[in-house]
Amino acid sequence: MGQIELKQVTKSFGDVQVIPPLDLTIHDGEFTVFVGPSGCGKSTLLRLIAGLEDITTGHIEIDGKDATALVPAKRGLAMVFQSYALYPHMSVRKNIAFPLRMAKMDSAEIDKRVNAAASVLNLTDYLDRRPGQLSGGQRQRVAIGRAIVREPAAFLFDEPLSNLDAALRVGMRLEISELHKRLETTMVYVTHDQVEAMTMADKIVVLQAGVIEQVGTPLELYRAPRNTFVAGFIGSPRMNLIEGPEAAKHNAATIGVRPEHIDVVESGGQWQGTVGVAEHLGSDTFFHIHNTGLAETLTVRAIGDVSLQHGDTIHLNPRADEIHRFDAQGLRIAK
């Protein structure tokens, strides 16, 4: 069980309020991702849940019980840190066994659980090594192993993949998702990478300056961003936001069109511009287009390899039903 509820939680460091009053419910078994630019308070929020920081006002409930005043050890949560935070002087076995040792579990049970965790995480051959002798991916698996042996109410991940290289990151992302499917335990995951958020989350919480901008499933956020911030943050490459007369045509202060919702046509397109940079990925081509009169740069994704080069004129047609409209406050206008 692992339902986490934040009720009117605030956090101030000195006179600076980093988290204004905030309410959030994370349901049992849910994979929730906190995403936002750096400094948006997502890690602070996770540390408040963990108990590593004291909340200034408000309440935190875990499984319906008030955990506001509980020390981290008593909250029944496990955390995986960005730097892995393994104990360098202990072997992998002792690292994984540490939480069980702290719980005064008997050694036969500890061995059983450590071996089980190690086999799940492919660490059996490394149990007697020190963390210093492991690769980044292996270290991260040890950190996860240390978290799962306790069978916690919920897992907290603080940007666990940002120290890994790109290939390993994709692999670990899948492993964590699979772990979640298998354990069905609540997971709270902090990242600044919206791709991680989109691919892993059941529920995404988009944060900016300590304020929740939107909560929803990845596709809800993609299809109906509540405001221009979420619109620009979710999706890769980011949504084109266009202001001025073109937006006024749609009775909006700002309109947004995703790069994948603009078609490249031979001639006579609704919009025109010159190709600045063309990124050929094989499966897709990303064009960064200037001189459209709409925005400084327009990004367009074309399927397949389209042979337009730097300086060529490009004709574009946005798909009318995929245009998002926002008012002067940046809030979404319903269709």
Q: What residues line the site for other proteins (CB under 8 A)?
A: 50, 52, 71-73, 77-79, 81-83, 85-89, 98-99, 102-103, 146, 150
Q: How far is the CB of 82 from other proteins (least distance, A)?
A: 8
First to last CA, the chain: 40
H/E segment holding residue 167:
helix 166-183
Tokens of residue 43, six digits: 């890690």
Name the residue nearer to other proteins (CB basis): 102 or 331: 102
Give the other-Cβ count within 10 Å of 302's Cβ.
Answer: 20
Name the residue nearer to other proteins (CB basis): 126 or 155: 155
Q: Are 97 and 91 in contact (CB under 8 A)?
A: no
Name the residue nearer to other proteins (CB basis): 192 or 332: 192
Q: How far is the CB of 76 from other proteins (least distance, A)?
A: 9
Measured between alpha carbons, how far is 139 from 148 in angstroms, rounded to an integer?
Answer: 14
Q: Three-class SS of residue 127?
A: coil
Q: How far is the CB of 44 from other proteins (least distance, A)?
A: 13
Name the residue nearer to other proteins (CB basis): 99 or 137: 99
Q: How far is the CB of 157 from other proteins (least distance, A)?
A: 12
Name the residue nearer to other proteins (CB basis): 21 or 72: 72
Measured between alpha carbons, how far is 216 from 240 in angstroms, rounded to an integer?
Answer: 21
Q: Are 143 and 81 in contact (CB under 8 A)?
A: yes
Q: How far is the CB of 32 from other proteins (least distance, A)?
A: 18
Q: How far is the CB of 111 from other proteins (least distance, A)?
A: 17
Name the residue nearer to other proteins (CB basis): 159 or 213: 159
Q: Which residues are CB-neighbours of 297 under 8 A, at least 6 positions away? A: 276, 288, 289, 290
What does the angle CA 117 – CA 121 – CA 124 come to, to the nearest 5 degrees? 75
